[in-house]
Structure 1
């Protein structure tokens, strides 16, 4: 019994440590690094990039000669007195000399595919970084909001206790108590909602970082911002140059041009050189007339069956039922689609950048307003503290003044959050 009691005491002492062990404190840079390392979408895009590199290696293949070897073994049984085993080999060496420009344009096409895959990876990384920043600061702000609601809840409870004391002395009515009890219920609900928001933000961040379900990420920084002046015109030029979507569509357009030449190559001549060596040998005996005989009056089967050829092959498809023409037209349509999509994407990026720029300006204006409110309530708090020291005001009045100051401070943090998110969105719209 004593051992059991001792175990329970030790467990209760160390159980909070186990809970704290589940919390992982992360800086923003650490969270971004984890996301870029473990995020599934980033990993998938990275694999597509590797695949595109191998496509280039594949495209270079026709520039190299091909070497094939075929061999066979046949054993003839029952036709003659002795079994005859025949061995044949064929070695073929081919080199493409001209293919209508298909090989070189296939290489170009594959290289443009690599550029497009790199742009997709860059786009995925930019989006991942932005999403991590939003989730990270959302968790930070929701935690601040839950702390504020906890102070509001405590303040409301103190008001209720104060009002009940006045009610006992006949200085407050039952309606006053009912009203503040109703307010208390609303505050409790708001506090519970804010706690749920913290949990929801943690789930979102864990999902982006691919953390274990038992892990609870905790931001290690405070809401901090450094306002920067941005020039929209310069940002627009940067976006048109650096946005991965633009680079991706430029690569696709160039690839479509190469695809047109690849399709045209099907209607052009092909020239290749080849060298082949053939050999055939028999383990039995063959008469001079070529018929299989016994062991007498025979000649060797080897000699005339060993030979080689060297030549050139010229091929030109004169008519293929307009298949090549149809392929060329399809490639031209792909090029037009890529060009139209690039124009539409450029307009979308311009609109995205403009909205981010306006959000950034609004956030800066909100910060200035919040700073003026903080100055007001900070001065009010200083006055109330002096009055409390002089005995003019009560502790509850001081608590009210502190709560107003906390609310104004949170409003500034909210404005800082809006600025940070707007700045991150603006940076992403510029291309990082």
Structure 2
């Protein structure tokens, strides 16, 4: 009897060992696939503060900035080594054979010599025309440059995370509006069918309601895809593998804004881009000193202590070997190579001064734009306050009038359109206001330093 026949008749199924193993394997595979699906469906829900905390620990731009700090630390150790004693240990063991000495000495001098020895040498810079000191100072300034670069990466990441967070909240609001619109039009279709059954509506009313329902579906699909895209963007910024969602609302309390002059003063003091350029200018000044010292006198002290052994024929000898000396080097003419390096270093310094002025001008413009965007969003939020409630009342009145036969279908559609536009515009204005505040804090260089606006849970 076949396996299916046994199952159909409820009989006991005789299972051989290979068949039993196959069934167990299939069951395990199915269970594994089920649990994998459950695991893949896990979603991590975050508040804004939690998202910022994760970004500080996992964002790749921040991690790269931290690696740059390690590079600067290595550079500082490299430059500092020039001011420390250089200690070396050398050893040698050699054999020399020269048969030509037989002709000159008549065999009195052995033609083979064995030599060996070891020496511990030390050298120390005494004076380098400021070159070593300038290199150490430049490397030390590099630490502060790395700090500013880390601040730059952190603030840029906080801005991106906050904006992505608010984008998710906006996409969720728009998706909810689209879903409510579809549900509303579906109710209108049900009402038209009820009236048609009662004999107070025509085929035109049903067809118009069906078309409205179908026209509402693409917007629901579009906003749903937008919601998924914004979540994926936040997940990318946070460098997370699992799916993410957020908890919060686009709620805000408009507050007073600083003046342009106050914001500009804060930015000039705190913007990491300006601070980094100032540090790079200091480094460039030290590089001029380093380049200028290449054709200047240099004084070093060198010494060594060791042991030597010499064997020539039957004669052998060994003993201590030491030396110490003060060495002066003065490359007073190098074909104007040093002058060329100095000219390059000075030009780099002047270029950084120009970059600093250019960056300051760009920041002043960014501050004006940021303040204007905050004011614009704030004014739109104020203008739309109460509009949603009014649009909802108009829709209720239009639907009631349509049921009583004193309103036409077009008036109901207009009321629905006005309500959806009011809800969408208000949600967009709130998102723009929150994002504009984040951008203003980033523009002034204080984002992530106790001035990050948070949404209300």
Regarding TM over 0.5, the answer is: yes
Residue segments in structure 1 that go unaligned for 5+ positions in a row: 287-291
Match of 2:351 in 1: 337
2:212 paired residue number: 183
2:180 maps to 1:151: yes
Q: Give CA deviations for 1:21-57 in whole Å, capped at 9, x if unaligned.
A: 6111101011111112111111011000111122112
Report the CA distance between 1:384 and its aligned residue. Answer: 8.9
Superposed counterparts of 1:18-167, under 5 Å: 18=38, 22-74=42-94, 86-167=115-196
**Equivalent of residue 301 in structure 1, options 303, 309, 317:** 317
Q: CA RMSD of the aligned region, Å?
A: 3.6
**Alignment equivalent of 1:320, drawn from 313, 334, 342:** 334
Gaps of 5+ in 2: 1-6, 11-22, 100-108, 447-457
Question: Retained in 2: the 8 A contact 1:142–1:198?
Answer: yes
Cα separation, partners in 2 of 1:238 and 1:149, compared to 1, 3 Å: same
CA contact (8 A) 2:387 2:422 kept: yes
Provide the residue aligned with 1:269 in structure 2.
Answer: 297
Q: Deviations over 1:324-374 (max 9, x none)?
A: 000000001111111111111111111111111000001111111121313
* Aligned counterpart, 2:15: none
- Determine the C-alpha separation between the residues in 2 that align with 1:378 and 1:182: 23
Distance 1:107 1:383, change over 3 A: same
* 1:260 alignment counterpart: 288
Deviation of the 1:68 alpha carbon: 1.2
Distance 1:20 1:55 in 2: 44
List aligned pairs for 1:362-377, cutoff 5 A.
362-377=376-391
The structure 2 residue matched to 1:248, chosen from 276, 288, 291, is: 276
Q: What is the DSSP-based 3-state SS (H/G/I as helix, E as strand, rest coil) of the residue aligned with 1:279? A: strand
1:201 CA displacement: 0.6
Residue 203 (1) aligns with residue 232 (2):
yes
The alpha carbon displacement at 1:267 in A equals: 1.4
* TM-score, with structure 2 as normaliser: 0.79
CA distance in 2, matches of 1:382, 1:156: 14
CA offsets, 1:140-192, max 9 Å, x none? 11011111100101111222333344455665555554444443332111110
**C-alpha separation in 2, matches of 1:338 and 1:349:** 16
Determine the C-alpha separation between the residues in 2 that align with 1:302 and 1:144.
92
Question: How has the CA–CA distance of structure 1 residues 20 and 71 changed in structure 2, closer, same or farther, with 3 Å as cutoff?
Answer: closer
3-state SS in 1 of match to 2:69: helix
Determine if contact 2:55/2:161 at 8 Å carries over to the other structure.
yes
Contact 2:177 2:423 in 1 (8 A): no
The 3-state SS of whatever aligns with 2:386 is: helix
Q: Any conservation in 1 of the 2:137–2:286 contact (CA below 8 Å)? A: yes
Residues 252-287 of structure 1: CA deviation (Å, up to 9, x unaligned):
1111111111100101110011112343114x5x5x
Equivalent-residue separation in structure 2 for 1:393 and 1:158 (angstroms):
19
Output the CA distance in 1 between the equivalents of 2:251 and 2:198. 49
1:413 matched to which residue of 2? Answer: 427
